């Protein structure tokens, strides 16, 4: 080989080595980046850990806070609000009643025709309408005028299609799904807004009065017979369908629970006399807090950026309003740690840009190439061309966040069961889990909210955790029953059982509603 040939060979070898070194360097760097991203996932998994031991601590904390909230006003972050609902519909109600359901992005108006014991609900017409975004943060007058005029149009349409004109004043169950300090079964003062609402001049005002005034302004003659939380409506429908129902839980945009309590356990209202001896309590569990809750840096940031920091802590870990945003925050952290998502997309920094339904769709994607994940990353977050292994990582993030939420919700439910002695603690024979005949009692919890009813993985994780905490033997007597549209239908049923037309409108024992203290029913 001549000098030239040798030189050429040396240069070629050097070039090959350089290329190889670049490639190796690239691979090492990309491995390092991948490890950093996987590290973010590992840290998230660790921080979201919900072992059965930890869940039991949450159960205990929930039961303790329930006691504290019932003992004194402001005694706990759990408000444990009185509802003045001391009797629940039982199927004997008759007549035509209306409901107005306000609490999420849509509001609903409905009318039901009740036929009494044998025929129950004869018909139910429902109309859904989105609430214009600007009204959620406008004035109470604007919001309620809009609602009252929609209600009026609904009533007029329905009157045109009906052969009979009403002889009695129309009665309405008003479902208002925010924390309200009730002053009676049909009136109450808004404590604060949650979810996306923030109509400042409403806080501290009587909610029914605002609606009643708006109805008068709009020329609609209707009486608010009951003002209820959506959980209370759900409990009413649940109990109407199955008298073993003792509690109701909503897991949708927001989350909350209510249950039947003995009045003697509501210490903060000593002397509160209901002839039935029981009352439905609206827990407002979205505001529950305990140091046992597995909190991550993402939760802390989300809370800090929210319009209500240090509020609704449980809700911010569980409900549909927030889960998508927790996932977005994790993906943002990952994309800042490395370029596996390409250059950091500006959309990724926008709060609430990833909705929980989109997150649920990514989680549920079973296609081999995870095409739905790719589509949502591209369309919602403007992150195109993400490799399959990164898409898998995103699904894992959705799974960790959803699993934690569902398991915490399960712990909340068992907390209620523990408070009312239906968790079988100390063995299935103990507590109030058994009836007077010695047999295990069925304990039914009415469930609603899109996270529970439409997000299969969420529901499965919740049930799994419920069994883990209670044990198989007790868990078989705890039935979670989907009670869709309970918030509206239940409010109309309660309007019927509290109607001024019905002989049962006083709180004395009546035939057209079942007293919540019925020894078989009370917890």
Total count of residues recorded for the chain: 523
Q: Quick one: which segment of 52-60, 226-234, 271-279, 501-509 binds ligand BGC (CB under 6 A)?
A: 226-234
- Residue 302 to residue 223: CA distance in whole angstroms: 41
With contacts defined by CB under 6 A, name the span among 253-261, 271-279, 346-354, 488-496 that binds ligand BGC. Answer: 253-261
HEC assignment per residue over 403-448: HHHHHHHHHHHHHHHHHCCCCCCCCCCCCCCECCCCCECCEEEEEE
Give the closest residue to 360 by CA, choosing from 330, 319, 312, 307.
319
Contact 418, 426 (CB under 8 A): no
- Give the nearer residue to ligand BGC in terms of CB position, either 286 or 490: 286
Distances (CA, A) of 24 to 16, 29, 30, 37: 12, 8, 10, 20
Angle at 180 between CA 175 and CA 186, to 5 degrees: 55
Residue of minimal Cβ distance to ligand BGC: 254
Looking at 299, 315, 423, 468, which residue binds ligand BGC (CB under 6 A)? 315
CB of 158 to ligand BGC, least distance (A): 26
In the window 174-213, what residues touch ligand BGC (CB under 6 A)? Answer: 177-179, 194-195
Question: Which among 113-121, 227-235, 325-333, 467-475 is the span making contact with ligand BGC, rule CB under 6 A?
Answer: 227-235
Give min distance, CB of 245 to ligand BGC, in A.
Answer: 17
Q: Which region, judged by CB under 6 A, interacts with ligand BGC, from 30-38, 49-57, 118-126, 224-232?
A: 224-232
Which residue lies nearer to ligand BGC by CB, 102 or 331? 102
371-381 vs 388-419: helix crossing angle, rounded to 10: 90
Q: Return the residue of 90, 212, 241, 256 that touches ligand BGC, per CB under 6 A.
A: 256
Nearer to ligand BGC, 249 or 496 (CB): 249
**Which range, of 45-53, 127-135, 218-226, 249-257, touches ligand BGC by CB under 6 A?**
249-257
Contacts with ligand BGC: how many residues (CB under 6 A)?
A: 17
Q: What is the largest CA-CA distance in the chain?
A: 116
- Distance separating alpha carbons of residues 479 and 502, to the nearest angstrom: 32
Residue 105 CB, nearest approach to ligand BGC (Å): 11
Q: Measured in whole angstroms, how far is the alpha carbon of residue 213 from the centre of its chain?
A: 30
Terminal Cα-to-Cα distance of the chain (whole angstroms): 98
Q: Does residue 523 belong to the site contacting ligand BGC (CB under 6 A)?
A: no
Residues 99-138 that bind ligand BGC (CB under 6 A): 103
Question: How far is 247 from 516, CA to CA, in rounded Å?
Answer: 12
Each residue 257-286 as x (binds ligand BGC by CB under 6 A) or -, in order, gives ---------------------------x-x
- For helices 388-419 and 52-71, the axis angle rounded to 10 degrees is 50
Interface pattern 67-106 for ligand BGC (x via CB under 6 A): ------------------------------------x---
> Which residues would be at the binding site for ligand BGC (CB under 6 A)?
103, 177-179, 194-195, 229-231, 250, 252, 254-256, 284, 286, 315
């Amino acid at each position: 080989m001549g000098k030239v040939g040798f030189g050429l060979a040396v240069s070629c070898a050097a070039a090959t080595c350089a290329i190889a070194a670049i490639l190796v360097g690239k691979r090492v760097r990309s491995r390092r980046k991948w490890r950093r991203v996987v590290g973010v996932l590992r840290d998230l998994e660790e921080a979201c850990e919900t072992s059965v031991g930890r869940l039991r601590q949450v159960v205990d904390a929930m039961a303790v806070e329930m006691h504290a909230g019932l003992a004194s006003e402001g005694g706990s972050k759990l408000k444990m609000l009185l509802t003045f609902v001391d009797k629940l519909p039982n199927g004997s109600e008759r007549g035509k009643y209306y409901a107005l359901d306000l609490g999420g992005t849509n509001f609903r108006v409905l009318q039901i025709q009740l036929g009494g014991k044998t025929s129950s609900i004869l018909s139910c017409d429902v109309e859904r309408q989105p609430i214009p975004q600007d009204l959620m943060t406008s004035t109470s007058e604007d919001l309620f005028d809009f609602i009252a005029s929609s209600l009026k149009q609904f009533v007029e349409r329905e009157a045109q299609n009906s052969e009979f004109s009403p002889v009695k004043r129309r009665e309405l169950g008003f479902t208002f799904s925010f924390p309200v300090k009730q002053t009676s079964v049909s009136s109450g003062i808004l404590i604060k807004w949650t979810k996306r609402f923030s109509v400042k001049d409403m806080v501290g005002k009587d909610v029914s009065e605002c609606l009643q005034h708006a109805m008068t302004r709009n020329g609609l003659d209707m009486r608010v017979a009951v003002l209820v939380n959506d959980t209370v409506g759900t409990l009413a429908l649940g109990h109407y369908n199955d008298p073993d129902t003792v509690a109701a839980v909503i897991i949708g945009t927001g989350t909350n629970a209510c249950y039947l309590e003995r009045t003697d356990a509501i210490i903060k209202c000593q002397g509160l006399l209901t002839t039935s001896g029981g009352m439905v309590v609206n827990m407002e569990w979205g505001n529950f807090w305990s140091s046992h809750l597995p909190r991550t840096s993402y939760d802390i940031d989300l809370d800090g950026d929210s319009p209500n920091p240090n509020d609704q802590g449980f809700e911010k870990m569980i409900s549909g309003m927030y889960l998508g945003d927790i996932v977005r925050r994790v993906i943002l952290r990952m994309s800042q740690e490395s370029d596996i998502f390409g250059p950091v997309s500006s959309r990724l920094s926008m709060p609430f840009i990833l909705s929980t339904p989109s997150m649920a769709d990514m989680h549920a994607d079973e296609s081999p190439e995870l095409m739905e994940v790719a589509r949502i990353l591209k369309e919602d977050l403007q992150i195109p061309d993400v490799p399959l292994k990164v898409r898998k990582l995103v699904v894992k993030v959705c799974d960790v966040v959803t699993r934690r939420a569902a398991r915490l919700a399960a712990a909340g439910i068992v907390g209620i069961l523990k408070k009312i002695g239906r968790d079988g603690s100390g063995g299935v024979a103990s507590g109030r889990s058994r009836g007077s005949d010695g047999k295990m009692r069925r304990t039914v919890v009415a469930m609603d909210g899109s996270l529970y009813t439409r997000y299969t993985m969420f529901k499965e994780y919740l049930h799994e955790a419920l069994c883990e905490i209670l044990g198989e033997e007790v868990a078989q007597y705890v039935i979670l029953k989907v009670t869709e549209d309970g918030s509206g239908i239940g409010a109309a049923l309660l309007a019927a059982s509290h109607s001024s037309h019905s002989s049962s409108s006083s709180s004395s024992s009546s035939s057209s509603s079942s007293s919540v203290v019925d020894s078989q029913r009370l917890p």
